[in-house]
Structure 1
Amino acid sequence: MDAEAGTPLQDVFRRLAPVHRSLLLPDGTELRARLPAGLPLLLRLDAWNQPDDFGETPPSGPETFRLLAEVLDSGDPTRYRPTLAPDTHWSHWPDAGTL
């Protein structure tokens, strides 16, 4: 992966992620080390549907947040059954990091 000097860091990560995802994101052991001892890993999402007006819509609005609340309230990760396609791939957010 080539990047010119001065390339914004988010663009470097976007180029690295497709090929080196396992090196950039924590594996199970690394993730566990960041959680308090005894706290169970209830659900891990690598992709979800992110509202494009984040910060303007109340958390009760987007499906993703309502489903996460259900999972947390019930302790049952199978309650996370989204109907909307994930859109967290960087290609859906080309202006991310430029605000």
Structure 2
Amino acid sequence: MDLEHGYFLTAGNRIHLYGNDEGQWAIVFEKNGYQNRAARAEIELNYIGNCIGYSIEKHGEINYISNTHYIVLIDGDEFKRIENKEGSDLETFEHIGEHVKDIKIRNQFVPFNSNYKDYEKAGIKLENFDSGRRLIGFGDLLRYYNEINPSLLYASEDEIKMHIPKKLKKIMTIDKFHYDREILPSKQETYKMIAKVLVTRDSSYWKPALPFNNHWSNWESGNM
């Protein structure tokens, strides 16, 4: 899981741990946010384990095997519908129109809050335009939902288990953890404890001492 991906503006993230008495285990890394090159909001699931049903895509005569699965939250057509259409080029690029009332996330319409002050209260820094307008960016929207209603952006349990055995038992979900992309996983407290939890199938071994830093505000992402 990369919390500093240049093409993916991260909103939320979690880690799911699964295992059973037969020795099968799986880690599912989940993150959501705005994919700025594909112009859609999505969930990205990364699978690691010894019982993964890897996805296979065939292009011509070549098979591509992947441990990643994507779930679209807001598609490109919906972003086109809600995109601001008045003002400068910057104001009409990846910003939401002030008169939009709701936004389709998956198959449900969710009320849109255009009050920029609520976003700033949530720690989201909005872009300042010369015109003085305070428009909500596509990525800002996802981060705001992550703050006020994160379950709206989460994958369901059935979706998470799409590439692992259905009967594999969940041990725990980790919402807050210490993340460090500069240190090998084998040297990190987070992954050492994850390994202990998986081996014992006992969530009580999750006792982090390092400060949690996986919140989006601690990392630069989606800036390319």
| Fold conserved between structures, TM > 0.5 | yes
The size of the alignment, in residue pairs, is 90
Q: Contact (CA 8 Å) 2:145, 2:152: kept in 1 or not?
A: no
CA distance in 1, matches of 2:159, 2:94: 33
Q: Contact (CA 8 Å) 2:171, 2:201: kept in 1 or not?
A: yes
CA distance in 2, matches of 1:59, 1:9: 32
CA distance in 2, matches of 1:25, 1:34: 10
How far has the Cα of 1:83 moved from its partner?
A: 0.5
Counterpart of 2:142? Answer: 13
How far has the Cα of 1:80 moved from its partner?
A: 0.9
Q: How does 1:1-99 map to 2 (within 5 A)?
A: 5-7=93-95, 9-26=138-155, 30-35=156-161, 36-51=165-180, 54=181, 56-93=182-219, 95-98=220-223
How far has the Cα of 1:12 moved from its partner?
A: 2.8
**Per residue, is there more helix in 1 or in 2?**
1
CA distance in 2, matches of 1:21, 1:89: 12
Unaligned runs of at least 5 residues, structure 2: 1-82, 85-92, 96-136
Deviations 1:25-72 (A, max 9, x none): 24xxx2145323110001101111101xx1x42211111011001111
TM-score scaled by structure 1?
0.74
Whichever of the two has the greater Rg, that structure is 2
CA distance in 2, matches of 1:65, 1:97: 25
Percent identical pairs in the alignment equals 27
**Per residue, is there more strand in 1 or in 2?**
2
Given the superposition, is the C-alpha separation of residues 59 and 23 from structure 1 closer, same or farther in structure 2, using an over 3 Å criterion? same
RMSD of the alignment, in Å? 2.2
- 2:183 partner amino acid: T
- 1:39 partner amino acid: L
Runs of 4 or more consecutive aligned structure 1 residues displaced over 3 Å after TM superposition: 7-11
CA distance in 1, matches of 2:199, 2:179: 21
